[in-house]
Chain A
């Protein structure tokens, strides 16, 4: 029985989490120090293009791993519906959809170097060049 428990613990350490902890990061020039889930959802569904009256520029991680899954679960949207809303905005002259980025390192680089930028990456990749507005577990 003890061996079974030990095996279970070892397996849980080696099997990757389906849902990683995700940090919503912003350029240090963004005036807001926090964002709610509702505000975040409104930004990424293009219902809103401002945070605390400041225009923001969004980045969206396209790599379909645990970071993206956790983010989508956190804001209560699925990838297909989000893309439909972005396509509608694009084809009707509405707000610019988030810029797609394929890797978390690129998200970090773009957010740290672009004024007004907001993106999301795995919490363990955050560095001192950006600020964290929210963590989603």
Chain B
């Protein structure tokens, strides 16, 4: 968006400029996570066909098997932070994924965040620019790998899983957010309300007459979260409202609402995190159920201050997707060790699988045939996450 580019320009000038206000030094820091992943699995779509089509009664419509070991720099983030004065802070976050190399067309490089924050007091702050909205708990930190025990994240937060359009489940970006913390005795309440652009499919790409990254709609994303923290217990409730681009299929911008509940608790050396996200769509031009559901739970144990282990289960269902309407399950087991404060060595086993059946027309001269889809992937991974 032009507004985002303008804000980014102003931010960079503000970060680099001298001013009469008391400013902190520009802080430059970041992290990267490198990994080696052994992936084995595949998917198949096999139709039950009449004998005249295939004497065996089965026809493979699509099949792919993967078995490889891949080392990569999974992610690198570079942060710039500057306190412009006592009330204003500027922040820029660049993200590089997948061993980025423009010469080989590997990976990606993107501007993830660029915002200025105004703090009136602890109870009222405003961020404006390009930011990650506060929805549920993991959304804001899903790409902060040193904070997470995971190498592969729970389903909708694992952007490398191309079976899932995760933007259906979580809002990706906002351009303004008001938030604050209100301590009352031993409980700290927190809130956030935000507004953002429409989903990516409404944002113009290369070749668009109005220029790239233009939000071509007048409707926007609105949402918020309220939460509380008491001792080692944290919980929150989130909500968003926006539209889903279904112009290509049913010629409609479908109203979409998301509700989420998040919970975190630690007791002795155990830690537990969980989220539940329900997505409701109300199309006018279709009677098909398009609702979606996602939840996960992670239980871990801090063996020492520097050594931890965990297990995580996640489940996702999309009524509007032939493959995902029977549900996809994800299972992760992992461990981590911190030889230094700034280094985490992680290891994990991750599996995700889905089975579904639906009718497919393979030939206009014969009725639709039942097709069974089977997705089954397993990966063994080791990673090192480094703060610098």
List residues of A whose CB falls within 8 A of some B CB: 38, 42, 47-50, 53, 55, 76, 79-81, 83-84, 87-88, 90-93, 96
Q: What are 24 sample pairs from A and B whose C-beta atoms fall under 8 A apart? A: A38-B183, A42-B183, A47-B122, A47-B181, A47-B188, A49-B119, A50-B121, A50-B122, A79-B305, A80-B302, A81-B232, A81-B266, A84-B147, A87-B146, A88-B147, A90-B29, A91-B79, A91-B144, A92-B140, A92-B141, A93-B79, A93-B89, A93-B91, A93-B113
Q: Which of A42, A81, A84, A91 has the most CB of B within 10 A?
A: A91
Partner of B147, one of A49, A55, A91: A91
Q: What's the A-B contact tally at a CB cutoff of 8 Å?
A: 53
Q: Does B43 contact A (CB under 8 A)?
A: no
Binding site for A on B (CB under 8 A): 29, 31, 79, 81, 83, 86, 89, 91, 93, 113, 115, 117, 119, 121-122, 140-141, 144, 146-147, 181, 183, 185-186, 188, 229, 231-232, 266, 302, 305, 341, 387
Task: Please determine whether A88 and B141 come into contact, CB atoms closer than 8 angstroms.
Answer: yes
**Max chain B Cβ within 10 angstroms of own Cβ: one of A42, A49, A80, A84:** A80
Contacts of B83 in A (CB 8 A): 96
Q: Which residues of A sit under 8 angstroms from B231, Cβ to Cβ?
A: 76
Nearest CB on A from B127, distance (A): 8
Per the bound structure, the CA–CA distance linking A5 and B262 in Å amounts to 56
CB distance from B371 to the nearest CB of A (A): 44
Most buried by B among A50, A81, A93: A93
Contacts of A38 in B (CB 8 A): 183, 185-186
Report A-chain residues with C-beta under 8 Å of the C-beta of B93: 93
For B87, the closest partner residue in chain A by CB is A55
| Highest count of chain B CB atoms <10 Å: which of A42, A84, A87 | A87
Taken together as a complex, chains A and B put the C-alpha atoms of A93 and B24 apart, in Å, by 14
Residue from the set A47, A50, A53, A92 with the largest chain B CB neighbour count within 10 Å? A92
Question: How near does chain B come to A114, taking the closest CB pair, in angstroms?
Answer: 13
Q: Report the minimal beta-carbon distance from A14 to chain B, rounded to whole angstroms.
A: 29
| Bound complex: CA A42 to CA B230 (Å) | 11
List chain A residues, Cβ under 8 A from B140: 92
Contacts of A83 in B (CB 8 A): 341
